[in-house]
Amino acid sequence: MAAIGFELLARDARTRARLGRLVTSRGVIETPVFMPVATQAVVKTMLPDEVWQLGARMVLANTYHLYLRPGADAIARAGGLHRFMAWPGAILTDSGGYQVFSLARLCRVSDEGVLFRSHIDGSEHFLTPEKVVALQEALGSDIAMVLDECAPYPCGYEEARRAAERTLVWAERSVRCHRRPDQALFGIVQGGVYRDLRTTHARELVALDFPGYAVGGLSVGEPKELMYEILDVVEPLLPEEKPRYLMGVGSPDCLVEGVARGIDMFDCVLPTRMARHGTVFTRRGPLAVRNAACAEDFRPLDPECDCYVCRRFTRAYVRHLLKAGEISGVRLTTWHNLHFVLSLMREIRASIAAGTFELLRRDFSRHYERGSWSAGGE
C-alpha cells in the first residue's frame, strides 16, 4: 500500500484550480489545503486541539529545528512526532533546505551536503541528503521532503543553475536511501526565476517518479507577479494525478492565485508571525491592531468573520492586550488568522465543487486588494 493516495474530484472550468483528496494513514485531507506551521512541534501560542478545532488536518514541522532540539532520536523514543506533540492529524516535515537559505551566514554548502553552525549554541553539524531522510524517517512524518538548495532572490543565472543541479543530485540520493514504506517523499522543483531552469528541473524530477512535487524557491522576495509567472511555467509539467505543493506561501491573495494555478498544498509562517506582531487578516486587507486607530474601535477584528475571537472581542480589547504584553492578545490574533486562512481554503474548495471559483477569485481580489483598513474606517 502506498504511503499516500491522491484523487482528483473536480477541476474548475476557467482556471487550473483542482479539488482533491489526499489520503494518509491518519485521515483524508481535502485539497486545496493550507498547513499551519509547527516548526518546533507546536503552532506558536496554540494547543493541538485548538488547531484541530479550527479545521486543520495537516501541519508542517521542521527537521532542522527538531534535529537540533530536542533531537530526532528523542522524538523517536517518545513514539514519533505525532505522539510527541499530541497531534492526531497528518504531518509534513520540511527538510531544512530553507534554513540553508535563511541562515546562509551559518552554512557552507557543497555537493556532499551542508555544513552549518547551530543558531542555538554554535555547534557544528553536517547534513547530507541521506541524513536528512534518516532524520525524517525517525520523526515518522507522513510526508518528508528531500534536501534542497534554495537560491536567493535576486541571484544570477549560474547561481540558480548550480542550486537546481545540486538539488537534483540530492533528490536522486534521497530516493535511493528512503526506506520507510508509510512515509511519502516529495521532490522539490528549483531554478530561481529562470523559466528554462525551472522547466528542465521539473522534467528531471518528474522522471524520478516522486509521489508528490513541491515548488520551492519562491516567496523569497520576488514580486508576486513573477511568482505567478513561474507557477504558470512549472504547473503544466507536473503530473496531474499527483499533489502539487507551493512551499512557504500563505498570504490570502497568494493562496487564491496559487489555487487558480493548480496548487493543492500550501504552508507558511505568515498567519502566525503577523499575529505575533499585532496584524490580522480581514476581507478588506490586513489590519494593524496595534495602531492607535483601534484604541476605541469596538468592532470585531473583521466584521465579516464568525470566528470565536470576532464573536466575543473588539479591536480595542485585543489592542489593549497586545499593548499590555499579555500573551492572550497574541493567542487571539493567532486564533483569528488561522481561522481566516483555513476558512478561506474551505470556501475555495466549496467554490471549485460548485463551479464558482472564478467568481470567488474576482470577489476576493476586488475587496482584499484595496489594501489595509483606513484609520477607523471600513
Cell triple for residue 186?
516529495
Do 329 and 318 meet the contact criterion of CB atoms below 8 Å apart?
yes
What's the CA gap between 62 and 43, in Å, rounded?
Answer: 12
Catalytic residue among 94, 142, 148, 264: 94
What 3-state DSSP class applies to 218? coil
pLDDT at res. 373: 36
pLDDT at res. 105: 85
Q: How many CB atoms lie within 10 A of CB 283?
A: 16
Q: Mean pLDDT, to the nearest integer, of 33-54? A: 98
23-43 per-position pLDDT tens digit: 999 999 999 999 999 999 999
Q: Mean pLDDT, to the nearest integer, of 44-49? A: 98
Pairing of strands 184-189, 213-215: parallel
Is residue 209 annotated as a catalytic residue, yes or no? no
Measured over the CA atoms of residue 213, residue 219, residue 223 and residue 224, the dihedral's sign is positive
Q: Mean pLDDT, to the nearest integer, of 219-242? A: 97
What is the arrangement of strands in the sheet containing 58-62, beginning at the earlier edge strand? 33-36, 265-268, 244-246, 213-215, 184-189, 143-145, 90-94, 58-62
Closest by Cα among 153, 145, 231, 218 to 188: 145
Do 179 and 186 meet the contact criterion of CB atoms below 8 Å apart?
no
253-295 per-position pLDDT tens digit: 999 999 999 999 999 999 999 999 999 999 999 999 999 999 9
93-144 per-position pLDDT tens digit: 999 888 877 878 888 999 999 998 999 999 999 999 999 999 999 999 999 9
pLDDT at 378 over 70: no
| 165 φ/ψ angles, rounded to the nearest 5 degrees | -65, -40
What's the CA gap between 49 and 87, in Å, rounded?
Answer: 8
Distances (CA, A) of 272 to 46, 163, 314: 10, 30, 19
User: Helices (H) and strands (E) in the chain — how many of each?
Assistant: 15, 16
The amino acid that residue 161 corresponds to is: R
What's the CA gap between 161 and 157, in Å, rounded?
Answer: 6
Q: Mean pLDDT, to the nearest integer, of 156-180? A: 98
Band (372; pLDDT cuts 50, 70, 90): very low
Domains of the chain: 37-42+62-260 (3.20.20.105), 276-368 (no CATH)
Share of the chain above pLDDT 90, in %: 93
What's the CA gap between 245 and 192, in Å, rounded?
Answer: 16
CB-based burial label for 25 (10 Å; 0-12, 13-18, 19+): exposed
Catalytic residue among 12, 148, 264, 267: 267
pLDDT at res. 375: 29
Distances (CA, A) of 347 to 156, 197, 351, 364: 40, 35, 6, 11
Is residue 94 annotated as a catalytic residue, yes or no? yes
pLDDT at 304 over 50: yes
315-364 per-position pLDDT tens digit: 999 999 999 999 999 999 999 999 999 999 999 999 999 999 999 999 99
Band (371; pLDDT cuts 50, 70, 90): low
pLDDT at res. 342: 98
